[in-house]
Structure 1
Amino acid sequence: MHDLVIFDCDGVLVDSEVVSNQVLVSNLARYGLNLTLQECMSLFVGGTMVGVRDKARDLGAVLPDNWIDEVYAETYDRLRLGVPLVAGVSQLLDRLDQQDIPYCVASNGSPDKMQITLGQNGLWDRFKDVMYSAHVLGTGKPDPAMFLKAAEHFGSARPVVIEDSENGVTAAIRAQMRCLGFAAHDDGARLAALGAEVFGDMAEVPALLGI
């Protein structure tokens, strides 16, 4: 049995990826880069905002020096209006609690963003002391450092990662951890190709974990 479950945040715990990328589409259009929502999500989901900025510039966006602060402010304002939990997450966390299996969150997003999204859904208290952020660690996925640090903190010998992005799956595989790839918006083929075990409903996770 696994002795630690490491959750990504956006798109795994909270259904925030579509909302955040809608903000990004609108913002980048102002700077000369016109993308569909699907194109934006394909390009940027799971990345750091520094990576998003650099890739957007490579694609032709003329972004100001303070762009990261600007897009974060716009994104946070939109998320404060409300973002739901991914269906089945609360029940899954209750099940892990019943089985005394610890869990944490590891995200390329900032602690401030996680406080907004997890806080409005009653999960902040569950995760605030077991939160790993690329903004704090100084390196993000696909670097496996965040996952390795979490496993070390918990003394975990058999961690499992739940991810929805290619960067996240890559980080888990590099950390030599089992990875469950949550595919809510497509067939998950890209995640499977990287080594994830793809699933589409949080209700499937207990069986996948053997609990």
Structure 2
Amino acid sequence: MKAVIFDCDGVLVNSETLSAIAYKNVYARYGLTITPEAFSAMLGMKQADILASLRGVEGELLPAEAEGELTSEILSLLGQLVRHTPGLPQFLDQLDQPYCVASSSDVPRIRLSLDTAGILDRFEGRIFSSSMVANGKPAPDLFLLAAEKLGVEPCDCIVFEDSAAGVTAAVAAGMTPVGYIGGDHLPPEHEAKLRAAGAADIVPDWRAAGQFLKRETRPQS
């Protein structure tokens, strides 16, 4: 493998629980209730696509005029509380391959999350967002853009993802998706969803991810 692509939310940073709080709070202000299961089903999708399909149990969508309010609430929480996933800096230190982040979030949110978590400098110049392509995950567009910018073929890329939508996108791009379940937001049954979507392997932490990379890059005898 010649390059590594990371999703951001739930992979590089433990942000999904914070996003879930923001969604719950803003929906509630408009008389809507969203369940953890409903929000979990949207993992990996960009905000516009989530808002177009995430209905409260009452059956209604969040009003369009509330999107800015939701964005502000998410950014406020991220700017105060988001942290990188355990062991990530040490994993990045060991990487020999070029790497980047390819996230469904927009660039300002990605940068805020990485900066607050203290890892922005590791990704400068290699931040790719679904806002840069026509179709977000589960379409392959974003990952194909990342491979092009890194100067590698899609088949030479490993993708670390925590969502079924992201794994599906990596498969469609012809890449090797690895399901990362070391975030603080995933239920035990999530591993099965990632495998069903096409994950080549599942890693519970960055130490296991390092072992996976060693196996994949070991010279063939």
TM-score (norm. length: structure 2): 0.87
Percent identity (aligned): 37
**CA distance in 2 between partners of 1:63 and 1:35 (Å):** 10
Deviations 1:132-176 (A, max 9, x none): 101232421111011111112222131100000011000000011
SS in 1 for 2:63: coil
Deviations 1:58-95 (A, max 9, x none): 86235322222221111101111121110111111000
**CA distance in 2 between partners of 1:163 and 1:56 (Å):** 21
CA offset at residue 41 of structure 1? 3.4
- Indicate whether 1:109 and 2:105 are aligned: yes
**CA distance in 1 between partners of 2:61 and 2:158 (Å):** 40
Query: Residue 189 of structure 1 aligns with which residue?
Result: 192
**CA distance in 1 between partners of 2:56 and 2:23 (Å):** 16
- Greater shift, 175-184 or 150-159, is seen at 150-159
- Greater shift, 16-25 or 151-160, is seen at 151-160
Residue of structure 2 aligned with 1:135, choices 131, 154, 163: 131
Deviations 1:88-122 (A, max 9, x none): 111110001xx2x1000000001111111101222
Q: Report the RMSD for the aligned CA atoms in angstroms.
A: 1.7
SS in 2 for 1:15: coil
User: Do the aligned residues in 1 keep the contact of 2:14 with 2:83 (CA within 8 Å)?
Assistant: yes
CA offset at residue 200 of structure 1? 1.0
Give 5+ residue unaligned stretches, structure 1: none
User: Do the aligned residues in 2 keep the contact of 1:33 with 1:56 (CA within 8 Å)?
Assistant: no
SS in 2 for 1:104: strand
Cα separation, partners in 2 of 1:199 and 1:10, compared to 1, 3 Å:
same
User: Do the aligned residues in 1 keep the contact of 2:7 with 2:160 (CA within 8 Å)?
Assistant: yes
- 1:166 alignment partner AA: A
Cα separation, partners in 2 of 1:3 and 1:62, compared to 1, 3 Å:
closer
Query: Residue 53 of structure 2 aligns with which residue?
Result: 55
SS in 2 for 1:181: strand
Query: Residue 78 of structure 1 aligns with which residue?
Result: 77
- Indicate whether 1:119 and 2:112 are aligned: no
- Indicate whether 1:206 and 2:204 are aligned: no
SS in 1 for 2:12: coil
TM-score (norm. length: structure 1): 0.91
> What stretches of structure 1 move > 6 A for 4+ residues in a row?
none
Aligned residues: 206
